Structure 1
């Protein structure tokens, strides 16, 4: 019963549409109407700018952190931690508040692994930042980073439950970026540009 409670609470936490709330409440902008129409940090960056995107990223990651700690407090087993984390990712991607639509779960997933494997998370985040800086492709950085998570877990001899989660999460991220992979192969994927806000360009 406690596992079910963790799953439900984790899902509800993950369902909070931070990108939509930040865009609407602070900037009077519905992210679903601009750019990729995604409520995640990347579209927030393209549409609103750096600081709004940073807040979207941090609050989305916090959902994963809270959900994992919820599992830790209520039961404390590795399975309980993963139950909360996975539920939060599912909630972010298929939010009950958005008619079961949502983002791609990268930031929320990062929050999950930040609690489970903090040292690996630091390495992954730095790698992600380097790839974004060099290529300007957030999708590419997210895909490569996600795939490397279970690999690093294996070589770091992490708990087997976390390793299996890493594999599932990597497959999930790759699957959610299927369209991006197609555009990357065709050379049509959008790059991020510092100082260029889509809302501004549409208002001019």
Structure 2
């Protein structure tokens, strides 16, 4: 890789480190999302106390953090390995933002942005999986987990790009690990359902 490639990877991480939830809450004069609900700086937690508008802005912002670095790298003509590294760096930036004491969200929206920027077909497949599972089971975290597990399969099937496949597997493993509390709640039957609210003491966020 060349200096430009390394610069793009670093830029991807820094861009991913911009916390949409914290910035939106500050601009809208809402409490710091790290101090309420599940203490998770993501759209689901912001929805609890900030409403749908604030949560929607956060969700879009988190997705854009995955889209822009990858698209920028693609426009500069970088190879598949670099695209994968830039997307992964943006994803890690969201999880462990250098600007916010490395306290980030769970990564679902940013991961989706990365997948969509690499391949719109993969992005559509991942989004469709989330929507179908969420519609059937009414559990957002379950939909996120299944979409994360299937993402590498979609990458392999729709792009056949080895570097992207390796990156997607790594991201999926991390997403599942970040949702370990949700998995425990699912197994114990305590995970909140979509539209029925959640107990603020139970970390059910998927961001």
Could you tell me how far 1:147 is from its partner in structure 2? Answer: 0.5
Deviations 1:36-74 (A, max 9, x none): 111111212233222221111111110111111232234
Query: Which structure has the highest helix share of the two?
Result: 1
Q: 1:15 to 1:50 in 2, by over 3 A?
A: same
TM-score when scaled to structure 2? 0.87
Listed as ranges, the gaps of 5+ residues in structure 2 are 201-207
State the alpha-carbon separation in 2 of the partners of residues 134 and 47 from structure 1: 26
Listed as ranges, the gaps of 5+ residues in structure 1 are 199-204
* Residue 118 (str. 1) matches residue 107 (str. 2): no
Q: Which residue of 2 aligns with 1:135?
A: 137
* Residue 60 (str. 1) matches residue 47 (str. 2): no
Q: Which residue of 2 aligns with 1:177?
A: 179
Report the 3-state secondary structure (helix = DSSP H, G, I; strand = E; otherwise coil) of the residue aligned with 1:188.
coil
State the alpha-carbon separation in 1 of the partners of residues 31 and 193 from structure 2: 21
Report the 3-state secondary structure (helix = DSSP H, G, I; strand = E; otherwise coil) of the residue aligned with 1:76.
coil
* Structure 1 stretches of 4+ moved >4 Å: none
Alignment map for 1:1-204 (pairs within 5 Å): 1-193=3-195
Note if contact 2:106-2:178 (Cα within 8 Å) is conserved in structure 1: yes
> Number of residue pairs matched?
197
Could you tell me how far 1:180 is from its partner in structure 2? Answer: 0.9
State the alpha-carbon separation in 1 of the partners of residues 9 and 144 from structure 2: 25
Note if contact 2:108-2:144 (Cα within 8 Å) is conserved in structure 1: yes
